[in-house]
Amino acid sequence: MTDTPEPDTYSALDAPEFAPAQFVRWFREVAPYVHAFRGKTFVVAFGGELVQAGALNALVQDISLLSSLGIRLLLIHGSEPQVNEQLRLKGYSQQLTRGLNIVDAAMLECAKEAAGEIRLDIEAAFSQGLPNTPMSHSHVRVVSGNFVTARPLGVIGGVDYRHAGVARKLDQDALKFALSHDSIVLMSPLGFSPTGEAFTLDMADLATAAAIALRAEKLIFLTGSSGVVEESGGIDTELARADADALLAGGALDEETAFYLGFASKAVKRGVARAHLLPYDLDGSVLLEVFTHDGVGTMVVEDTLDDLRPATMDDVGAIIRLIEPLEADGTLVPRARGEIERDVEKYTVLEHDSVIYGCAALYVHPDEKMAEMACLIVHPDWQGEGEGEILLRHIEGRARAAGVKRLFVLTTRTSHWFIKRGFTPGGISDLPRSKQATYNPSRNSLIFIKRL
Ligand SMILES: CC(C)(COP(=O)(O)OP(=O)(O)OC[C@H]1O[C@@H](n2cnc3c(N)ncnc32)[C@H](O)[C@@H]1OP(=O)(O)O)[C@@H](O)C(=O)NCCC(=O)NCCS
């Protein structure tokens, strides 16, 4: 038992639905992410809308938790609605909009005031430490400064953008020093030129530049968009950069999603490991995205799918060579060549430099809206690089496209791999009827099912 909670305080642990076993399992499931992200840099960017919506405190609590887990954090806030509010209060008619703006002297003054105010609010929020709140015992140091050298946007197409600027250089040494000394760095969307002038910056552009300069593990945008929505209505939780670019070129995305997806794609192309679009109005969205396998928003990754393609008859020999050693040691059920030839269009292969180094097959049972993923293999020389995960994602995508709601696997030795990727144990009665009929009890394979 911990020594802090007082009896009159509400705690999730006291809730009637609290299940100790579930809590322990969840806590353990989070452990690999904690280990993986310690010492890594996350850039978290959010618009002034988040502050306006009253979501700042919750975000600050979650960011403090990430910081205490050893993640290095750079926060960048926007201030558009606050600047517009200042302009309105002062009787000016001009308003800032997303993207390019001509920034006159009045707007610049309002931007400085708004930035000052938001920065103080954020610093105050990080200074909380009331008992029985998530900030209890937290000692977060927030550092701000003149990290960004800016230059004016200048005259584009005959239009002078005046005090609107772009980041020219980031003081990487100072940023890395602060981050490595357990400080959270807070940046406002303003930069300064060597002549001492201030320029307004685009928050998303600045965050992208910072994430690239620091080679961040994650660039996270908290936005008014929930992420990229698939045809089925669900959120596309992982998007290869090439697919993100194709969506952007297609022009069908809403303005906000397209705006942030463009920056996410740019960041990933320039070396940021992953870029995320998350909804700021979902409480705890950063924690859900970072610590659960599928997350809640859209994550953009560099395109590693180049090697994936549907199998053809010419691949049957290579597939058999992949399967043979696993049949011999009992990991996979033996399959006759004729069976693979018959089902070849169900297979996807991974090919690099004309070498087939992985495969997986999808057997759809349309009546039950279920499908089996079978024959998931990555050649031992290529294992441990995420290729198995790529195959799984691809098969999940194919299954969804076929209207499948639940994907199942039968396995004897790989159960933990599937559990880690969102599968849960099932029984024979959970299988489609035709599969129940062919289930081989002597093999005693374990059944795992994942809702798509
Ligand atoms: C399962 C398999 C496809 C994973 O391929 P992969 O490209 O290595 O997968 P990833 O790189 O995405 O994942 C690697 C992680 O899975 C773990 N893993 C590999 N095999 C595992 C197993 N049998 N059980 C639990 N975890 C396993 C690795 O240790 C590694 O963990 P880490 O990220 O913590 O280091 C591959 O190991 C394989 O071909 N195995 C033999 C065939 C098989 O069992 N297929 C499933 C049939 S149902």
The reply to whether 263 and 323 lie within a common domain is no
CA of 313 to the centre of ligand 1 (A): 26
- The atom of ligand 1 lying closest to the CA of 416 is 25
The reply to whether 108 and 30 lie within a common domain is yes
- Sequence length of the chain is 452
The reply to whether 343 and 246 lie within a common domain is no
- The atom of ligand 1 lying closest to the CA of 375 is 47
The reply to whether 291 and 358 lie within a common domain is no
The reply to whether 294 and 259 lie within a common domain is yes
The pLDDT-based confidence of 304 (bands split at 50, 70, 90) is low
The pLDDT-based confidence of 104 (bands split at 50, 70, 90) is very high
pLDDT for 15 equals 65
- The atom of ligand 1 lying closest to the CA of 358 is 39
For the Cβ of 386 lying below 6 angstroms from any atom of ligand 1, the answer is yes
Per-residue pLDDT tens for 381-409? 888 878 899 899 899 989 988 999 999 99
The reply to whether 245 and 368 lie within a common domain is no
The reply to whether 289 and 327 lie within a common domain is no
* Rounded average pLDDT over 16-26: 82
CA of 351 to the centre of ligand 1 (A): 18
Query: Which of 263, 279, 303 represents a domain boundary (last residue)?
Result: 303
CATH classification of the domain holding 440: 3.40.630.30
Among 313, 311, 318, residue whose Cα is nearest residue 347 = 311
The reply to whether 321 and 291 lie within a common domain is no
CA of 233 to the centre of ligand 1 (A): 31
**Residue 321 within any structural domain of the chain:** yes
**What is the number of structural domains in the chain?**
2
Query: Which of 303, 327, 358 represents a domain boundary (last residue)?
Result: 303
Per-residue pLDDT tens for 320-345? 999 999 999 888 988 999 999 999 99
The reply to whether 89 and 157 lie within a common domain is yes
For the Cβ of 385 lying below 6 angstroms from any atom of ligand 1, the answer is yes
Q: How far apart are CA 372 and CA 395, in angstroms?
A: 10
Q: How far apart are CA 274 and CA 251, in angstroms?
A: 23
**Residue 421 within any structural domain of the chain:** yes
The reply to whether 112 and 252 lie within a common domain is yes
**Residue 197 within any structural domain of the chain:** yes
For residue 375, the enclosing domain spans 306-451
Please answer whether residues 451 and 423 qualify as being in contact, where contact means their C-beta atoms are separated by less than 8 angstroms.
no
Query: Which of 280, 303, 326 represents a domain boundary (last residue)?
Result: 303
**Residue 3 within any structural domain of the chain:** no
Local structure of residue 193 (DSSP, 8 states): -
For the Cβ of 390 lying below 6 angstroms from any atom of ligand 1, the answer is no
pLDDT for 13 equals 60
For the Cβ of 409 lying below 6 angstroms from any atom of ligand 1, the answer is yes
Q: How far apart are CA 376 and CA 361, in angstroms?
A: 7
CA of 441 to the centre of ligand 1 (A): 24
pLDDT for 32 equals 81
The pLDDT-based confidence of 307 (bands split at 50, 70, 90) is confident
pLDDT for 7 equals 41
Q: For residue 430, report the phi and psi dihedrals to the nearest 5 degrees.
A: -80, -10
- The atom of ligand 1 lying closest to the CA of 382 is 7
The reply to whether 122 and 217 lie within a common domain is yes
From the centroid of its chain, how far is CA 356? 29
**Count of Cβ atoms closer than 10 Å to residue 227 Cβ:** 27
Place of tokens 């975000």: 59
* Rounded average pLDDT over 235-261: 93
The pLDDT-based confidence of 9 (bands split at 50, 70, 90) is very low
**Residue 264 within any structural domain of the chain:** yes
CA of 383 to the centre of ligand 1 (A): 7
**Residue 5 within any structural domain of the chain:** no
The reply to whether 183 and 271 lie within a common domain is yes
**Residue 6 within any structural domain of the chain:** no
Please answer whether residues 301 and 243 qualify as being in contact, where contact means their C-beta atoms are separated by less than 8 angstroms.
no
**Residue 132 within any structural domain of the chain:** yes
Per-residue pLDDT tens for 47-103? 999 999 999 999 999 999 999 999 999 999 999 999 999 999 999 998 988 888 999
Per-residue pLDDT tens for 151-196? 999 999 899 999 999 999 999 999 999 999 999 999 999 999 989 9
